[in-house]
Chains A and B, each alone.
Chain A
């Protein structure tokens, strides 16, 4: 039986060419999890310092801090990476432990809706404070 470049075991040449593995989606999830993780290393350390600096701050002081362009941009990037990374992790937890199909699909859809909603709401909140200086009003 002839073999093809990159072929091993019983995989067909088409399976090897597609490179999607058993998951059917290849290494996309793995890479996104790592890239968001790398981004979150400096962002989360920065966030700890930001929160530490805002202890007992008054409401106008909090608004002024969020409205600083560097803080606003980092908070927006943090929000996106945080909910993306969290959703990727929760997705795997649901895949691993929820074996009732209808419940698994429901939770996976709810997770995506929730993550996008929370990320968008956070970004909108930062943008509104940044651009108006006073929040939604």
Chain B
């Protein structure tokens, strides 16, 4: 039976702030990383099981869908990591508060927000360039 209680106002009534993007991305990447955690568990269990089990795991990671997922997991991890460190700074009170979230009052806050997103993308590309170089430039 659905719970009939007042719900939050529709999102459309709020003025756009970068917190919305940061918060949404942090939660979505966190959700996606939980699936990635299961991949880590699969890898460890496969390694402990047998060579065949490990080969099945390695085959999945090397497949096209596996590579796409690994790329997305790399970015998700790096964004969640970068923004998570920023979040910890907010937790100890650095740059925290409603005024800091307003573009007119605190343009730096917005720039840092976009900067962290850009940093996570740059780091992801860097990691994958290093990986491809390490593989001798061969086909991924």
Cα A126 to Cα B34 in complex, Å, equals 19
**CB nearest to A63 among chain B residues:** B47
**CB nearest to B127 among chain A residues:** A48
Q: A129 and B48 in contact (CB under 8 A), knowing A34-B91, A56-B135, A118-B37?
A: yes
B106 interface residue per 8 A CB criterion? no
Q: Is the CB of A86 within 8 A of B48?
A: no
A90 interface residue per 8 A CB criterion? yes
Instruction: Determine which of A41, A55, A78 lies in contact with B81 in the assembled complex, contact meaning CB atoms within 8 Å.
Output: A41
Instruction: Determine which of A41, A56, A89, A99 lies in contact with B3 in the assembled complex, contact meaning CB atoms within 8 Å.
Output: A99
Cα A82 to Cα B38 in complex, Å, equals 10
A-side interface residues, number (CB < 8 Å): 37
**CB nearest to B38 among chain A residues:** A118
**CB nearest to B28 among chain A residues:** A93
Q: A136 and B48 in contact (CB under 8 A), knowing A44-B77, A48-B77, A99-B2?
A: yes
B55 partner residues in chain A, CB cutoff 8 A: 59
Cα A34 to Cα B91 in complex, Å, equals 9
Shortest Cβ gap from A96 to chain B (Å): 9
Q: Is the CB of B31 within 8 A of A101?
A: no
A83 partner residues in chain B, CB cutoff 8 A: 37, 41
Q: Is the CB of A125 within 8 A of B47?
A: yes
Interface residues on B, range: 35 or more
B85 interface residue per 8 A CB criterion? yes
B131 interface residue per 8 A CB criterion? yes
Could you tell me which A residues sit within 8 Å of B by CB distance? 34, 37-38, 41, 44-45, 48, 52, 55-56, 59, 62-63, 66, 75, 78-79, 82-83, 86, 89-90, 93, 99-101, 118, 121-122, 124-126, 128-129, 135-137
Q: Is the CB of B131 within 8 A of A52?
A: yes
A121 partner residues in chain B, CB cutoff 8 A: 41, 44-45
Cα A135 to Cα B48 in complex, Å, equals 4
B119 interface residue per 8 A CB criterion? no
B84 interface residue per 8 A CB criterion? yes
Shortest Cβ gap from B9 to chain A (Å): 15
B38 partner residues in chain A, CB cutoff 8 A: 118
Cα A110 to Cα B47 in complex, Å, equals 26
A55 partner residues in chain B, CB cutoff 8 A: 131, 134-135
A37 partner residues in chain B, CB cutoff 8 A: 84, 87-88
